[in-house]
């Protein structure tokens, strides 16, 4: 697991579906305001194949929460856009795929092993980076870290805090402790996997 600061490199790549290249393109920065899960993968990678059903489950869990899933397929071992299309077809992937024919985006992101997942915040900054096979909870927890914190609506009343019943104050303290514990659990469950396939840049 690695975290970093700053806006992730922008890129524009052609879209590929189960039918091949569509003639459309997608630009990463067009998703500003949304959390983005980037997956760098290769169609021949056994670990990417293992991750396909897991990513599919996480996709359906978060797609309605303004989270974008975008896979970048690379050209190593002569992998083509058609190979990526076959992968999408075979695994029934529901999210968007692009094809990096030159490997330039892989290089810009420093990807040397696959799969690599990069989670981007709503401002385009890198929140977390995971390499290798991941569990469903690990991916989900990484996304949770990038999701904006929804602040509760605060209403002004004339009742002072000290006037609140003891049971309300106890419940509030208990809720705060629970949230704190959940944050600690999220931070501790995301781990780096060694189950990767290596790629070599020219």
Q: 161 in a domain, yes or no?
A: no
Q: What value does the mean pLDDT take over residues 56-60? A: 97
Q: What is the 3-state secondary structure (H, E, C) of the chain?
A: CECCCCECCCCEEEEEECCEEEEEEEEHHHHCCCEEEEEEECCCCHHHHHHHHHHHHHHHHHHHHCEEEEEEECCHHHCCHHHHHHHHHHHCCCCEEEECCCCHHHHHCCCCEECEEEEECCCCEEEEEEECCCCHHHHHHHHHHHCCCCCCCCCCCCCCHHHCCHHHHHHHHHHHHHHHHHHHHHHHHCCCCCCCEECCCC
**Count: domains in the chain:** 1
Q: Long-range CB contacts (< 8 A, 24+ apart) of 17-25?
A: 17/85, 17/88, 17/97, 18/85, 18/86, 18/88, 18/89, 19/85, 20/81, 20/82, 20/85, 21/81, 21/85, 21/99
Q: 175 in a domain, yes or no?
A: no
Q: What value does the mean pLDDT take over residues 8-18? A: 98
Q: 142 in a domain, yes or no?
A: yes
The residue ranking higher by pLDDT, 171 or 47, is: 47
Q: 107 in a domain, yes or no?
A: yes
Domain limits for position 68? 12-149+182-198
Q: 167 in a domain, yes or no?
A: no
**pLDDT grade for 195, boundaries at 50, 70 and 90:** confident
Is the preceding peptide bond at 115 cis, omega within 30 degrees of 0? yes
CATH classification of the domain holding 59: 3.40.30.10
Tell me which of 115-119, 127-131, 164-168 is least confident. Answer: 164-168
Picking from 69, 89, 55, the residue whose alpha carbon sits closest to that of residue 26 is 69
Q: What value does the mean pLDDT take over residues 9-24? A: 98
Q: 60 in a domain, yes or no?
A: yes
Q: Is the CA virtual torsion 46, 50, 52, 58 positive or negative? A: negative
Q: 34 in a domain, yes or no?
A: yes
The rounded mean pLDDT for the chain is: 82
Give the pLDDT of residue 149.
80
How many C-alpha atoms does 179 have within 13 Å on its Cβ side? 9
Q: 67 in a domain, yes or no?
A: yes
């Amino acid at each position: 697991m690695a975290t970093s600061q700053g806006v992730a490199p922008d890129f524009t790549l052609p879209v590929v579906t189960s039918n091949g290249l569509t003639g459309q393109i997608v630009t990463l920065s067009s998703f500003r305001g949304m959390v983005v899960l980037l997956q760098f993968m290769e169609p021949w990678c056994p670990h990417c194949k293992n991750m396909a059903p897991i990513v599919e489950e996480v996709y359906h869990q978060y797609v309605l929460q303004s989270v974008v899933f975008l896979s970048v397929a690379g050209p190593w071992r002569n992998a083509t856009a058609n190979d990526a299309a076959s992968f999408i077809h075979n695994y029934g992937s529901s999210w968007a795929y692009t094809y990096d024919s030159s490997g330039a985006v892989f290089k810009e992101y420093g990807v040397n092993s696959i799969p690599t997942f990069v989670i981007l915040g709503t401002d385009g900054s890198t929140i977390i980076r995971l390499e290798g096979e991941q569990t469903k909870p690990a991916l989900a927890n990484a996304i949770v870290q990038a999701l904006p914190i929804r602040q509760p609506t605060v209403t002004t009343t004339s009742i002072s805090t000290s006037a609140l019943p003891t049971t309300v104050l106890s419940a509030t303290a208990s809720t705060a402790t629970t949230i704190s514990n959940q944050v600690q659990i999220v931070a501790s469950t995301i781990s780096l996997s060694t189950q990767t396939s290596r790629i070599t840049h020219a």
